[in-house]
Structure 1
């Protein structure tokens, strides 16, 4: 405003107005400087995790719970498709490739491929290739699909090698056990200890401590073993179908000439059907752990190995307790107590089923 606009009829300066002379500062910072802590990635990750856990407290179905994506891990993040997005088809195709890579990673973990090998393939075949593509061709998102497809092919080749090596090792172990097993074992040649020497060696036993009790992880081990077996059976079924597909592809490549045109079309149809079945079974492999509340196979295997270690420690402590103090006949009260403990362990290992909140008629 000019000076004339802030003066009243009598020539005085109006209320809440002032004159700023030439050279004076007329702007000032009302707010203080922003705290860098609230812009740091660690703070944002912590807030995301806290709010995700808060939301998941009100979600009854474990398979529908939210999860925070782990950056820098083995998996690839999918993009959200907004409403009326002009690039929806491109993003959807990109997400399908990323999902296929994540499913292949799940299968690699089930097969036994180490995390370092998966991360090396991801770095060399995806991260470095994307940087190289941007440097050579510029920003071309349509090339991402081919880059991820090549990485998936390399990872599947490694999976097949690890699976075949595992089968060879299992066969060797079984054959060694059969060779080392004695043919004739005589358990009757056991000398009885005389009663006099037995009385001399008997010493008063100390106070017997309480029986070791399993932890929560040790109790859940048997339930996790069932999920583990399902993953292994599904993986073996996928390998069987892939072997059948490779045999048909070899036969198709050998079928040449005019007179084998009908056989070529039949083989192509069979191969296409097998590929569709394999794709469905791979999706099912990733969904097995999600049905039990785990976001992915990596999270399940972390819980499984933790429970396996806890169960092994419990078995060792129980074995030492039995060897040192032995088993004494249980009273009726002790048997009822152990029965209640078994029921409690069974309830803990039972999978959670959300209550039916529908309206009853």
Structure 2
């Protein structure tokens, strides 16, 4: 199955606490390296100024002092020097965005998730700090708001009220060591850019093209799955959620190789999953079981489309082109697999389920149990065959069904255009309408070269973010 990079960004409301957590050997069981581009004083000053600015803004919510990226690394990175890996990834980010960073390289408890925590500042140090001094006495209320007169901050006995303050003439009342937050870090384009940037960086150490990571493309026919973080109390819920998403993804593969247009699958995904989920959240909030129900209904709708979709006839190629024949045989192979899956789902499994529903009575326990076991075995067989479709394509160099179907359609267009050109040439020759010095027929070699180029491009294609993943830590 195609592997996708995982890069997640989160907001930090306590940057000093988070730094202590990710860099402490006492708090991290598998901490391999730490690295920082600025000292502790920088992060303390950053947090202090962020809190002052937040209080001054008088808005609700939490103050965001910094941001954090979590970058999952493939297994090959465990063989590399941890300190060099961490410094390389951190320095590349600092060089690209000109902000200070602090980072750590971890494994999770089971050593199945090798990853980097990279904390970065959204502000930059000013070359010359801005310092403002009071030209007269300044008075501030309990809410930190500036008031006009001294009376407004005194109690009935003439003493300064708790929470109020007076800044005397000549004293510093405001100073800035940092710039304002860089707005680029808030936008989705930044995160997408970082995902692409780090995915390319990660892949430099992945030699096998088939094992290189991809960035998930949210506009594909597939649904993203989520990673389950350490000690996550919602682990069982996320696992069930991922199972529903994977079922949809396998059904989408089946639909593609069954001849259903990608645009139709995308329409089902948008209307039956994305829009219904959005409406459900607006009305009821987030309910995982409700989301899984929406996905399952959409999956069944897609299966109904597969049932009614007639597989296209096996194409007969009259032009001798080995490259197209290879693609053609592969198409027939996955279509046959799809047809076999549909037969098992719609005939064999349905038959067993009907038999189970009809087997009632006190003395039918053994018979029911036998049928239930057959149903379970049949479901496993179907699941294995569904998983086999992307494997068949990957064995031939295509990353997934979506890429192969697009390549096959393009190849078919090339071959059909060649046939039309050849037919037109033959018609002109037979009707004696061609000039005496007839142009030669279309060359098979040029078509063969175009097919080879198309195959190579398709097998090298790495679409962006197929199973966008979220992680909870």
Q: TM-score, normalised by structure 2?
A: 0.48
Per the alignment, residue 277 of structure 1 pairs with 381
2:299 to 142, 146, 152: 152
Per the alignment, residue 122 of structure 1 pairs with 269
Report the CA distance between 1:138 and its aligned residue: 2.6
CA separation of 1:326 and 1:116: change in aligned 2, threshold 3 A: closer
Per the alignment, residue 336 of structure 2 pairs with 233
For the residue of structure 1 that corresponds to 2:216, the secondary structure is coil
Per the alignment, residue 8 of structure 1 pairs with none
* Residues 219 and 311, structure 1, Cα contact 8 Å, conserved in 2: no
CA separation of 1:37 and 1:317: change in aligned 2, threshold 3 A: farther
Report the CA distance between 1:83 and its aligned residue: 2.9
Q: TM-score, normalised by structure 1?
A: 0.61
Report the CA distance between 1:305 and its aligned residue: 1.7
Q: Distance in 2 between matches of 1:103 and 1:47?
A: 29
Report the CA distance between 1:66 and its aligned residue: 0.9
* Residues 132 and 173, structure 2, Cα contact 8 Å, conserved in 1: no
For the residue of structure 1 that corresponds to 2:406, the secondary structure is helix
Per the alignment, residue 109 of structure 1 pairs with 256
For the residue of structure 1 that corresponds to 2:415, the secondary structure is helix
Q: Distance in 2 between matches of 1:245 and 1:234?
A: 16
Q: Distance in 1 between matches of 2:132 and 2:250?
A: 70
CA separation of 1:233 and 1:23: change in aligned 2, threshold 3 A: farther
Per the alignment, residue 97 of structure 2 pairs with none
Report the CA distance between 1:241 and its aligned residue: 1.7
1:70 to 217, 223, 232: 217
For the residue of structure 2 that corresponds to 1:73, the secondary structure is coil
* Residues 390 and 401, structure 2, Cα contact 8 Å, conserved in 1: yes
Per the alignment, residue 290 of structure 1 pairs with 394
Cα RMSD over matched residues? 4.0
Q: Distance in 1 between matches of 2:408 and 2:203?
A: 22
* Residues 286 and 296, structure 1, Cα contact 8 Å, conserved in 2: yes
Q: Distance in 2 between matches of 1:312 and 1:57?
A: 39
Q: Distance in 2 between matches of 1:291 and 1:53?
A: 23
User: Could you report, residue by residue, the CA deviation over 1:277-306 in whole angstroms, capped at 9, with x for unpaired residues?
Assistant: 111111112332233443321122112222
Report the CA distance between 1:33 and its aligned residue: 5.2
CA separation of 1:219 and 1:29: change in aligned 2, threshold 3 A: farther
* Residues 199 and 214, structure 2, Cα contact 8 Å, conserved in 1: yes
1:87-102 to 2 correspondences below 5 Å:
87-102=234-249
Matched, 1:221 2:324: yes
Instruction: Give unmatched runs, 5+ long, in structure 2.
Output: 1-130, 135-167, 315-319, 430-437, 460-473
* Residues 356 and 371, structure 2, Cα contact 8 Å, conserved in 1: yes
1:246-265 to 2 correspondences below 5 Å:
246-257=350-361, 262-265=366-369
* Residues 356 and 368, structure 2, Cα contact 8 Å, conserved in 1: yes
1:300-311 to 2 correspondences below 5 Å:
300-311=404-415
For the residue of structure 1 that corresponds to 2:207, the secondary structure is coil
Report the CA distance between 1:99 and its aligned residue: 1.0
Q: Distance in 2 between matches of 1:19 and 1:107?
A: 67
Q: Distance in 2 between matches of 1:62 and 1:131?
A: 37
1:268 to 344, 349, 372: 372
CA separation of 1:56 and 1:306: change in aligned 2, threshold 3 A: farther
* Residues 256 and 402, structure 2, Cα contact 8 Å, conserved in 1: yes
Q: Distance in 2 between matches of 1:239 and 1:298?
A: 19
CA separation of 1:92 and 1:115: change in aligned 2, threshold 3 A: same
Q: Distance in 2 between matches of 1:161 and 1:63?
A: 34
Q: Distance in 2 between matches of 1:258 and 1:82?
A: 46
Instruction: Count residues with an aligned counterpart.
Output: 271
Q: Distance in 1 between matches of 2:407 and 2:203?
A: 19
Counting strand residues as a fraction of each chain, which structure ranks higher? 2
* Residues 67 and 295, structure 1, Cα contact 8 Å, conserved in 2: no
1:176-215 to 2 correspondences below 5 Å:
none
User: Could you report, residue by residue, the CA deviation over 1:158-212 in whole angstroms, capped at 9, with x for unpaired residues?
Assistant: 22122xxx16x869xxxxxxxxxxxxxxxxxxxxxxxxxxxxxxxxxxxxxxxxx
CA separation of 1:140 and 1:258: change in aligned 2, threshold 3 A: closer
Q: Distance in 1 between matches of 2:325 and 2:193?
A: 33
For the residue of structure 1 that corresponds to 2:222, the secondary structure is coil
Per the alignment, residue 3 of structure 1 pairs with none
Counting helix residues as a fraction of each chain, which structure ranks higher? 1
Per the alignment, residue 278 of structure 2 pairs with 131
